[in-house]
Chains A and B, each alone.
Chain A
Amino acid sequence: RKEVEQDPGPFNVPEGATVAFNCTYSNSASQSFFWYRQDCRKEPKLLMSVYSSGNEDGRFTAQLNRASQYISLLIRDSKLSDSATYLCVVLGDNFNKFYFGSGTKLNVKP
């Protein structure tokens, strides 16, 4: 079983739409969670950390559900520039081992 699982998509949405991705993780002892964004053939870049209480950054909202072991990312008012692959990242019970999901591809269309 993979440590982190994501729906690969693609999610094809029109500009202005709201879209949500989920990511499940297998280790209940995981402590830290992140969403990264990766553009085609580029390096991953941190989008946001995910806190237990949930957090929001502009059009992006991240939530953590420890009971069901998943994190979510909500994007409101999608822009063309949001088209990318979104990576879910979970820190394992080893303080330095991060596990990456294979990513969810988002295509925002005009």
Chain B
Amino acid sequence: NAGVTQTPKFQVLKTGQSMTLQCAQDMNHNSMYWYRQDPGMGLRLIYYSASEGTTDKGEVPNGYNVSRLNKREFSLRLESAAPSQTSVYFCASSLDGGNQPQHFGDGTRLSIL
């Protein structure tokens, strides 16, 4: 019962460093999402992928890139990390978007110094 798996769970970076957050789901879902959660702000959508081979910007895409490597995997890359990107990042998937609920990974706690 893995569901949605995110790696790493914690990471500390220096300003300007790059890194990739990994996400994989084993539920054969078509849609995948990346969110960030900041205190008092709720979850905000960074990017989403409605299906394999497609990606689209969400509410706060600046400073991020994504890759939908295959149906299972959706990665989020920070090319040049900034302190404003310190946050908790959640990956989610759903069967087909729309009225299908989302299933979330455990989150990645990222600090940029």
Q: Which residues of B contact A91 (CB under 8 A)?
A: 98-99
Task: Identify which of A42, A44, A91 gathers the most chain B CB atoms within 10 Å of its CB.
Answer: A44
Task: For chain A, give the interface size range.
Answer: 20 to 34
- Taking CB atoms and an 8 Å cut-off, the chain B residues in 27-73 that contact chain A are 31, 33, 35, 40-45, 48, 50, 56, 58-59
A39 to B90: give the CA distance in the assembly, Å: 14
Q: Please indicate the chain B residues that have their CB under 8 angstroms from the CB of A87 in the complex.
A: 42-43
Say if the beta carbon of B102 comes within 8 Å of chain A: yes
Which residues on the B side are within 8 Å of A31 (C-beta)? 98-99
A96 part of interface (Cβ distance < 8 Å) = yes
Q: Which of chain B's residues has its CB closest to A33's CB? A: B99
Known: A34-B101, A95-B97. Is A102-B106 also a contact (CB below 8 A)? no
Q: What residue of chain A has the Cβ atom nearest to residue B41's Cβ?
A: A102
A43 at interface, CB cutoff 8 A? yes
Closest Cβ–Cβ distance, residue B74 to chain A (whole Å): 13
**Number of B positions contacting A (CB below 8 A):** 25
Question: What residues on A are CB-neighbors of B59 within 8 Å?
Answer: 97
The answer to whether the Cβ of A49 comes within 8 Å of any Cβ in the partner chain is yes
The residue on A at minimum CB distance from B104 is: A43
The 8 Å CB contact of A43, one of B40, B42, B107, is B107
The answer to whether A97 and B98 touch (CB under 8 A), given A43-B105, A44-B43, A103-B42, is no
Residue pair B106, A43 in contact (C-beta under 8 Å): yes
Question: Contact at A49–B104, with CB atoms within 8 Å?
Answer: no
- Known contacts: A43-B90, A49-B99, A103-B42. The answer to whether A97 contacts B107 by CB under 8 A is no
| 10 A–B contacts, CB within 8 A, in A order | A34-B101, A42-B107, A43-B104, A43-B106, A45-B104, A91-B99, A96-B98, A97-B48, A101-B42, A102-B42
